Structure 1
Amino acid sequence: MQNKVDISVMGCGWLGLPLAERLVRSGLSVNGSTTSEKKLELLRQSGIQPFQVNLADPLLSADTLKDFLQADVLILNIPPKLRADGGESYLQQMTVLQKALLQSTVSRVLFVSSTSVYPDLNRIVTEEDTSFTDERDPDNTLLKVERMFQNSESWVCTVVRFGGLVGDSRQPGRFMAGKHDLPNGDAPVNLIHLEDCLNILERIITEEKWGQVYNACADEHPSRRDFYVAAAKALHLEAPTFKDMEETSFKLINSQKVKDDLAYVFSYPNPMAFF
């Protein structure tokens, strides 16, 4: 049995690993999970107590999961893969985790979610606009999972809905380079840089902002056309083209609440400066 630690980071990938490393540097004791056996040594070298945890594996050891969850705070950072089966496997994995959490020492959960939980409303969108998701998509898997962790008496949960994640190895110029006749060229982008993701998550923990829901996107929202053309050119790749459309389907994510509650100023407020 591991000694009780401060934080467990489930999902030490593009976002989770640098977050866990930052928390270690701040003096916290951190458990970190990965599905890859090869990555365990990397976590160990970073001062993170490594665990191989694959919630989709029916042979996952209950003791391994129990030891991983010996913590005060769980940062839940498993990107949902919803397209393959409509999110059914993701929902099953989160149910496994929820049951294990009920037997753990965790009292606070920081759930990394996505602004994809909102429908396109063709206007500015705030945290309350999931009411339209309830109306238009009552079986929305991501919203179901958010509420699974919010509606517990055993812990308190804060949800952070990030926009599109960019930075470090995620170079947006590669996303659409060379593609033609793409739709919604005039739609605003809702993106956030890795550095701002890390800053916001760390500040929620240090300032004990629990029981909240936050949107988190860069302040500026250039059009898809302007952003992805510039991003491709910055990498000297073929710029995408967009077809002319009379109507555009979009949402413009408002992040004022996270800025107000955390007194947060974005390090990368304009996505056009991401590259």
Structure 2
Amino acid sequence: MSKNIGVLGCGWLGLPLAKKLIEDGYNVHGTTTSSDKFSALENEGIKPFKVRLSEKEIEGDIQSFLSHLDTVIINVPPKLRGKQTESYVEKIKHLITEIKKSEVAHVIFVGSTAVYGDAEGEVSEESPTQPVTESGKQLVECESLFCNENQFKTTIIRFGGLIGPNRHPVTMLSGRENLTGGNNPINLIHLHDCIHMIATILAQGYWGELFNGVYPHHPKKQIYYFEAAQKRGLPAPAYDEEPDTKGKIVLSKNFMGKGHTFQTAIDS
């Protein structure tokens, strides 16, 4: 495999990932939707490109970004919360069309455990998808689009909830009342382990595979977020009294089954 990699989406995860890849000796192309961020990328040794995915087309010179790349890491999540109703699937279809025009041989598609929906009990990569949210439904469709392509090999990573520098779910939950699902287990992963998983896939050549990315510790939400709020001096979220429910525990069966471990605890 060549040492040329593209990171589509150099944000909270993509930028530190790109920095790690440069440390590992890769040549990295990175995209941003604003040319104002070019200098920040260039300062890290990343070759910047302005690219924006839209439902109608891809804005920017996507082929220059893809030029001479062996691998592309797609880290552009759906924007489907609240009243936003974009077609993420159409964006991905445009992207796949462009990738097929290039020399790219491998793709890592960063997805989400939202594809498992409201499943109960333990779920692994072998479990059926049953999404309930619009983003989860569109992610399932996008996964299928990538898996059905034979011009390049795609590995899919379904990350759980992301935590790390300046990012923790408790900041959004703090002070809220009458929340439900307090007895359900958490399924989180730290930024450092997201990067560790992607770097491992690249180093080992795990192509055409599916990985869940969730740290193997699953306390109840109401306990975990109460402790997290206390540590940060925030008002704790209040959950309704509910009968015990199983909720879902997402197992990272494939990654751990290959002998790999997670390195950064998700301490509240």
Q: In the alignment, does 2:179 pair up with 1:177?
A: no
Tell whether the 8 Å contact from 1:120 to 1:250 is kept in structure 2 after alignment. Answer: yes
SS at match of 1:91: helix
Q: 2:260 aligns with which of 250, 259, 264?
A: 264
Cα gap change, 1:249 to 1:120, in 2 (>3 Å): farther
Tell whether the 8 Å contact from 2:71 to 2:106 is kept in structure 1 after alignment. Answer: yes
SS at match of 1:17: helix
Q: 1:225 aligns with which of 222, 225, 228?
A: 222
Per the TM alignment, residue 79 of structure 1 is displaced from its structure 2 partner at its CA by 1.1
Aligned residues: 265
- Measured against aligned partners, the alpha-carbon deviations of 1:26-56 in whole angstroms (never above 9, x if no partner) come to 1110000011221111011110000010012
Task: Tell me how far apart the structure 1 counterparts of residues 79 and 187 of structure 2 sit (CA, whole Å).
Answer: 20
Cα gap change, 1:233 to 1:14, in 2 (>3 Å): same
SS at match of 2:21: helix
Letter of the 2:165 counterpart: D
With normalisation by structure 2, the TM-score equals: 0.92
Name 2:194's counterpart in structure 1. Answer: 197
Q: 1:52 aligns with which of 50, 53, 71?
A: 50
Q: Once structures 1 and 2 are overlaid, which stretch shifts more, 143-152 or 243-252?
A: 243-252
Name 2:29's counterpart in structure 1. Answer: 31
With normalisation by structure 1, the TM-score equals: 0.90
Per the TM alignment, residue 100 of structure 1 is displaced from its structure 2 partner at its CA by 0.5
Task: Tell me how far apart the structure 2 counterparts of residues 122 and 200 of structure 1 sit (CA, whole Å).
Answer: 25
Cα gap change, 1:260 to 1:10, in 2 (>3 Å): same
Tell whether the 8 Å contact from 1:181 to 1:243 is kept in structure 2 after alignment. Answer: yes
SS at match of 2:87: helix
Per the TM alignment, residue 268 of structure 1 is displaced from its structure 2 partner at its CA by 2.5
Task: Tell me how far apart the structure 2 counterparts of residues 57 and 211 of structure 1 sit (CA, whole Å).
Answer: 26
Task: Tell me how far apart the structure 2 counterparts of residues 96 and 5 of structure 1 sit (CA, whole Å).
Answer: 25
SS at match of 1:121: coil
Per the TM alignment, residue 132 of structure 1 is displaced from its structure 2 partner at its CA by 4.3
List alignment gaps of at least 5 residues for structure 1.
none
Cα gap change, 1:86 to 1:250, in 2 (>3 Å): farther
- Measured against aligned partners, the alpha-carbon deviations of 1:121-161 in whole angstroms (never above 9, x if no partner) come to 21101112235459x99x92110001111111110000000
Task: Tell me how far apart the structure 2 counterparts of residues 61 and 172 of structure 1 sit (CA, whole Å).
Answer: 32
Name 1:126's counterpart in structure 2. Answer: 124
Tell whether the 8 Å contact from 2:3 to 2:25 is kept in structure 1 after alignment. Answer: no
SS at match of 1:127: coil
Q: In the alignment, does 2:85 pair up with 1:80?
A: no
Cα gap change, 1:159 to 1:264, in 2 (>3 Å): same
Letter of the 1:104 counterpart: S
Name 1:41's counterpart in structure 2. Answer: 39
Per the TM alignment, residue 61 of structure 1 is displaced from its structure 2 partner at its CA by 5.2
SS at match of 1:129: coil
Task: Tell me how far apart the structure 2 counterparts of residues 259 and 98 of structure 1 sit (CA, whole Å).
Answer: 30
Q: 1:114 aligns with which of 112, 117, 120?
A: 112
Per the TM alignment, residue 25 of structure 1 is displaced from its structure 2 partner at its CA by 1.3
Per the TM alignment, residue 205 of structure 1 is displaced from its structure 2 partner at its CA by 0.3
- Measured against aligned partners, the alpha-carbon deviations of 1:211-252 in whole angstroms (never above 9, x if no partner) come to 100111011101110111111111101111111112537211
Identity across matched positions, percent: 35
Tell whether the 8 Å contact from 2:118 to 2:131 is kept in structure 1 after alignment. Answer: no
